[in-house]
Amino acid sequence: MNIFDPRYKLPDRHQTKKMVINKFDSCRKNVIYDLQKIPGKVFFTADMWTLTLSSEAYLSLIIHYIDQNWILQHFLLDIIPFKTRHTGINMVTEITKVLDEFKLVEEFEREMDDLFFNHYRCSAHILNLAVKQGMEIINKEILDVQKLIAKIKNSVLLCDDLCELCIIEKLKYLQPEIDVETKWNSTYYMLYKLQQMETALKMLIIKHEGVCNLMPNAKVWNKIRDTIIVLELLERATKSFSSSIFINKSKKCRLGDQTSQVDEETTQTPASSNTDFAEIERYLALPCDENVEALLWWQAHSSEFPVLSLMAKDYLAIQSTNIACEQVFYVAGNTITKT
């Protein structure tokens, strides 16, 4: 710093601490102010994470809502150190404390009192459990594949020869990886890589008889192919669950022509009663287009369906997964180190 400006004095740790706290308080006030202006309902996702290094537990809490511009927003409210038992009562207590700090506890308690507060399980987690249970029917084959891959991974010679055979057969060499128990789609990628290098693997037997007894036979290869077909569809669903909750530019373009025609469509709609029932009838009479993004459609038609659009704003913010919370802990897992 002396090279850039010798006159500048770096703040000491006390000044830095004060600056950080002041900035934090300022940001918190802005967040509280913005939360009070949310036009519709708010929804929360939460997830518990235990640090393997010290068994410390943390609870993340994220708020989700649709703002005035029909953009699905979410941000982290807090990461709560959890030092008590992981019971529902204790979790609600800690969550309520955070909501009280952000002036949201009254709405939260009102929902609880009116019995409208519902907890929904993470659909991606349910899918994970369902797939893992379904794959139990080929558990033996998967174990055999794991042994083969472990044999190859632990031998530099086998890896080099497999890579060379892939080049000869004009196949893309895919580094063999053993699946992880907590992620079913890792089994899909394990089998997919194996199947892509099937020809090279069969040729590997000629050079290395030691892997002959580990190589899948014709019947097992057929099972692997059939399993990949099924898992590929489920992998697409998982990626859909795990993708960003924001609408990307390519999806916006798909609705471009329809959005530009909203005024024309509204003009052509015959005049009818302003009752809510008439509004529902007009909405149900419209053709269904599955390729339209819901938020963009309701934004474009909010003046045509003023009551239903408010309802849509309440319900379209509901999250089907807690992916956002898991991403918070994914970053934390790469940050927290043993001291």
- The pTM (predicted TM-score) of the whole model is 0.60
Q: Each residue of 139-170: pLDDT tens digit?
A: 899 899 999 999 998 889 999 999 999 999 99
Name the average pLDDT for the chain: 80
User: How far is Cα 333 from Cα 325, in angstroms, rounded to an integer?
Assistant: 13
| Whether the Cβ atoms of residue 178 and residue 152 lie closer than 8 Å to each other | no
Residues 6+ apart with CB under 8 A from 151: 158, 210, 211, 214
Q: What is the pLDDT of residue 39?
A: 83
Within 13 Å, how many C-alpha atoms sit on residue 326's CB side? 10
φ and ψ at residue 285, rounded to 5 degrees: -80, -15
CA 121 to chain centre: 14
Cβ atoms < 10 Å from Cβ of 207: 14
Cβ atoms < 10 Å from Cβ of 149: 18
Residue 20 or residue 86, greater confidence: 20
